[in-house]
Structure 1
Amino acid sequence: MEFTGLSAFPLTPLVDEKLDEAAYIRLIERLRTAGVDSIGALGSTGCYAYFNRTERATALRLATEYSGAVPVIAGIGAVRTRDVLGLAEDAQKAGVSAVLLAPVSYQPLSEEEVFTLFETVTRELSVPLCVYDNPATTHFTFSDTLLARIAQLPHVASIKIPPPPAGSARQRVETLRAQIPSSVTLGVSGDASAAEGLNAGCDIWYSVTAGLFPEVALPVVRAALAGDAAQADAQSTALKPLWTLFYRYGGSLRVIATIAGLLGVTAPACLPAPLSTLHGDARRDVADVIAQLGLNL
């Protein structure tokens, strides 16, 4: 598969602490119908770290079964290398088009330990891999030197970078591109920074918002990749109330899960405990933004 365009990362919704298969299928089918370029199953939005191997295999089976021709990228992160290898095997058996690997840990990892993880996993793969650089959740920060080493490994095809500080995206992209093979794409995450990252030369947006609302994310990507930076910025600016919610409530996951519950696509409490959707004034705040932006399914 090509790591370009819009990669939508849906929730892995629960009901009574079990995978809500009907809701999950609806989310996957919605992404297929919208025409996203790939689906990121069991990413951070999909709460991969909270599911056991059997639950993750079931989610991937459903994702590949209902995604049609849309490629599925599977999150395979785990604390122990042995478990990552098992998850990679399950993902490939499920028919995914690529995998996504973050250096998950309990004890802080060294750069050499992270390199060895990627070296070991890529040796066993038959599908492409995206390097998942998400220090907000893993608490590990990749140096450019480490990313350059990993990018030389077989099957490494994309790097998902965290949102750069405002105004610095072009320099960040150019600096990293100079150190990695041209065959490895760069993807931006942090939805509020997506337009800037794409306009600066990123090839793909790894998007939380698109996992629920692909129709509002697609115009940003299509405009940016067509060279219309002003239109991409305008489309992103229109979603600023949503980006504000993400900042206000400590990230996108709880906000998106709350929206999914408010709109009835998932159960009101769809996250794995102890994670929780928003309540009280925060929930009303989210409902107001949904109405303001006219977001619906």
Structure 2
Amino acid sequence: MPIRIPENLPAQNVLTQENIFVMDLARAGEQDIRPMEVGILNLMPNKIETEIQILRLLSNTPLQINIDLIRIDDQVPKNTPQSHMDDFYQPFSQIKAKQYDGLIITGAPLGFKAYEDVTYWTQIQEIFDWAQINVQSTLYLCWAAHAAMYHFHGVVRDIRPTKLSGIFEHAVLAPTNELMRGFDPYFFAPHSRFGNIPEAVYAKTPGIEVLAAGSECGAYICATTDKRQVFVTGHPEYDADTLLQEYIRDSAQSSETAIPVNYFKADDPSQEILVRWRSHGTLLYTNWLNYYVYQVTPYDLTTLPKHSYSI
């Protein structure tokens, strides 16, 4: 089944060329089912690239999904045309009266900033709390995962002395959890961050289970036992060359930039990229949509259970 995205969104041409079924609003209206309602709060600088990456992972499901692209009010994009934001994104103030089956909050390049120093921290806190009332399950990625742990549980992340960048091996720690269904016992996924929360901190936080972790990168996938919150500390959505582009960008700023680990063949930037994470990234999103959203969300979203995890 397709994902329904705004008409003329640049991602549509890319996904169509990849033989991914997308449809516009008019055609979606002819479908006699209740589609899943999924919002994407995109905090990444290059929003068009991130849209394509996430929409690609959401597409591998038999469910019809309506997508809303959401932005924080009054935030001016630095790397995305304002016209794109005006045409395809809805300010949070305009959708806050709506309920969603699922919400994805992306990472953001804010690794060194204290949360309170983030210009839109107050708005993010409002969205976090709003989601606990109006969303069945929220998927927090990278920076958003750490920010949610701070907001809801008072957990302050550590700042690593060097950036965690590369493709790391993870072990499935909870093989019977539906989010891990179909995963190999060991799998790879990209990370790109300075922030870190020790695995033991997640494990001792009430109501949270560590589902997958790596010896080098620590906790990777954690979730609340009620399936309402999923914390993913890496970037399963990354394209093959995303870490390469980050490495080129960072190298231009510092000659001491480390080569992403396990990313290039023989860890040599002149050699090919080893792509080893796509299947598990797709499976993670498919399982989230099926078992954490579709299987448990009410038909009438106005009857969503109300939860609050704030400290």
TM category, shorter? 0.3 to 0.5
TM-score when normalising by structure 1: 0.36
Richer in helix (by share): 1
TM-score when normalising by structure 2: 0.35
